[in-house]
A and B are shown apart, each in its own frame.
Chain A
Amino acid sequence: MALPDSRLDRDTGDTIVSVKNLKKYYPVGRGLFRRQHALLHAVDDISFEVARGEVLGLVGESGCGKTTTGRMLVRLTNPTSGSIIVDQTDVSSISGADMGPFRQKVQMIFQDPYESLDPRMTIFDIVSEPLNVNHIGNLEQREERVAEMLTRVGLAPPATFMFRFPHELSGGQRQRVAIARALVVNPTFVVADEPTSMLDVSIRTGVMKLLTELREDFGISYLYITHDLAVARYLCDRIAVMYLGKIVEIAGSEEVIRNPLHPYARALISAVPVPDPAIARPVPNVRGGVSKPINPHPRCRFYERCPVAQKVCQDSDHPELREVEGNHFAACHLL
């Protein structure tokens, strides 16, 4: 497997995804007739770019807003405000008729292959559905294309899989079907939401390698959403760390893993268990537990849990992402 380390440099200048000041607020509150809702700031003013051919990892704990971000990028969720440009298309302005072409360019792979595949459809129906919906090819061509995709994702010979149902396949095979379905329309950008977290280790590596190969073969760019930093290190060129709706750090993946700057990123990385009993990890330096960002205080989101917080952190607004070292951005007053 080629290790994706420096691909970013090769592709600079060509941006496929550009997200600016993206926000998603959900009203929460008691009672049907209460006028004044509290707002849960699921995604709160984030900006980032994905270069063509790049894999950007979005990592963070549950509830940090990473899945909401992914869903907004493929327009499964409408943003509260902000702009998303994917491959020259303004995602927020797409309406009815333009949705088809957009969905051909942008696809999503979901976490749970036991829930994302319709149990009453055959594998052929599942993988060819995007072609049907978009009126691509005739039946014969579709069959050919599906066979080609199934072979490509490692379900060979395709004839033995095409007319089976999802329940006849193992978890790893189902996830391969989900990948084939996402890639059958030749998308340029794919949001992958924890595609390997439900799979066993011996199966997972195969799927991770497949995603890497497909990206090389088809030049696909990914937003790879995961809570697993070790997986992100292997698959992603850059990693963005989210905390309560904010991106707190973004840099090349080796850089984030080896030299995390934000106190939260440091704590998160030091909490990842390592498969070596001889190594004693330091205790992650963080206080308390995660809360929900409901009508959050404008100051730094991490303030309550930060082990190094100063007066400036209490008094100022949430810090902007800023380039602390070359191509290494972090949002912290103290850096």
Chain B
Amino acid sequence: MDALLSVEDFTMHYRTKAGWVQAVDGVSFALKRGQALGLVGESGCGKTSVAMSIMRLLPYNAEIKHGRITLGGRDVYAMASEEFRQVRWKEISMIFQAAMNALNPVYTVGSQIVEAIVEHEPETTEEQARRRVAELFDLVGIPADRADHYPHEYSGGMKQRAVIAMALACNPSLIIADEPTTALDVIVQDKILREMEEIRRRINMSMIYISHDISVIAEVSDIVGVMYAGKLMEIGEADDVFKRPRHPYTYGLMHAYPSILGAKRDLATIPGEPPNLMAPPAGCRFNPRCDRATDECRAVEPKLIKAGPEHRIACHNPVWTPSSGGERVGAAR
């Protein structure tokens, strides 16, 4: 099956007064139609930069060093900007971080979505757009009469739903959701994630979820990518990555996370702090914090290599190695 989105060896740095910030470095992944990818990592690991690169919404000081991003076979950065403007929102849209504050307080919520639709589909009349908004509100669970209300009359969860409705407005085939539920309480978060997943399945849309919370990623993703210091460290099917994390960082992250399930186990700490991306460590960027680091790790930067049918890792000394018989021997429990 053809990839809807493909990111190949993508490297993007930010120019600052103090030097180059190596925000995204050699990131590669592909996403099929209908799939949900979860990108997880801590603040500053480059996950939002990847999203902005795909949306072609990078700030002026960003420079693409190499690599390419294709959407439905078309190179995102080879398109004229007017051409991409048509792609953005219609084929690919984004739910921004803290999106609930992204609504304009002086316009009604409905009129803001109508504006987005008419802007991108000039053939649509306002009347048609208004009817579409009613359908969208129904889809995300907001009573239709609320379209005429202002953002301040909405609760946090409803604003988030409205922003999701806006992202869905032009029937995109891919939505990037950057921390879509981070500011919300768990019960609301649960509802919204369930609704988003239901919509995604119903209209066979692709999704990229970005979150710092591995529990959220575990629940909504088919594929999980773990980022650290601008690098994709591990990517694979969610079941694989969560049952058999191979990269020491993924392993550490999972064991540092408290859970309300199962026996209460000791939490692991990852010593140290993420590196300064202006001068990342030589070799593997995780090596100063890694208890499995070898001389090779300190000298040679690991490439993403195959660790299973749909599982790739960037590590010289992975945590779990398949026993001699071949791939996917019983889980290492």
Contact = CB atoms under 8 A, between A and B. Distances in A.
Contacts of A206: 269, 271
Interface in A1-26: 1, 3, 5
B50 to A, nearest CB: 18
B218 interface: yes
Contacts, number: 121
A308 interface: no
A233 B221 contact: no
A203 B218 contact: no
A202 B186 contact: no
A312 interface: no
A133 interface: no
B242 A276 contact: yes
Contacts of B258: 230-231, 233-234
B239 interface: yes
B2 interface: no
A262 to B, nearest CB: 14
A200 B259 contact: no
Q: What class of interface size applies to chain A in its complex with B?
A: 35 or more
Nearest to A253: B264
B43 to A, nearest CB: 6
Contact of B212 (A201, A273, A279, A281): A201
A137 B188 CA distance: 51
A295 B275 CA distance: 51
B266 A283 contact: no
Nearest to B238: A277
Contact of B264 (A3, A61, A268, A284): A3
Contact of B185 (A1, A61, A204, A208): A61
Interface in A180-219: 200-206, 208-209
B273 A289 contact: no
Interface in B41-99: 42-43
A158 interface: no
B212 A272 contact: no
Given A273-B215, A275-B214, A277-B242, A267 B257 contact: no
B323 interface: no
A283 B194 contact: yes
Interface stretch (B168-176, B248-256, B311-319): B248-256
Interface in B229-265: 238-239, 242-243, 252-254, 256-261, 264
A64 B321 CA distance: 48
Contacts of A204: 256
A280 B188 CA distance: 17
A274 B260 contact: yes
A327 interface: no
B269 A209 contact: yes
A172 B273 contact: yes
Q: What class of interface size applies to chain B in its complex with A?
A: 35 or more
A61 B186 contact: yes
Interface string A254-291: 10010000000001110111111111010110100110
B267 interface: yes
A277 B239 contact: yes
Interface in B184-215: 185-191, 193-194, 212-215
A267 B187 contact: yes
A274 B187 contact: no
B268 interface: yes
A274 B259 contact: yes
B42 A284 contact: no
A289 B157 contact: yes
Given A200-B212, A229-B260, A273-B213, A278 B187 contact: no
A275 B269 CA distance: 17
B242 A233 contact: no
B187 A284 contact: yes
B324 interface: no
Contact of B273 (A170, A234, A269, A277): A170
A89 interface: no
B121 interface: no
B270 interface: yes
A289 B141 CA distance: 12
The 7 closest A-B pairs by CB, nearest first: A273-B215, A200-B42, A202-B270, A61-B185, A230-B258, A271-B190, A271-B186
Interface of A: 1, 3, 5, 61-62, 170, 172-173, 200-206, 208-209, 227, 229-231, 233-234, 254, 257, 267-269, 271-279, 281, 283-284, 286, 289-290
Given A1-B266, A274-B259, A275-B214, 4 more contacts: A173-B273, A205-B270, A257-B260, A274-B260
23 contacts: A3-B264, A3-B266, A61-B187, A62-B185, A200-B42, A202-B42, A202-B269, A202-B289, A205-B269, A209-B267, A233-B264, A268-B187, A273-B186, A273-B189, A273-B190, A273-B218, A275-B254, A276-B242, A277-B242, A278-B239, A281-B190, A284-B187, A284-B190
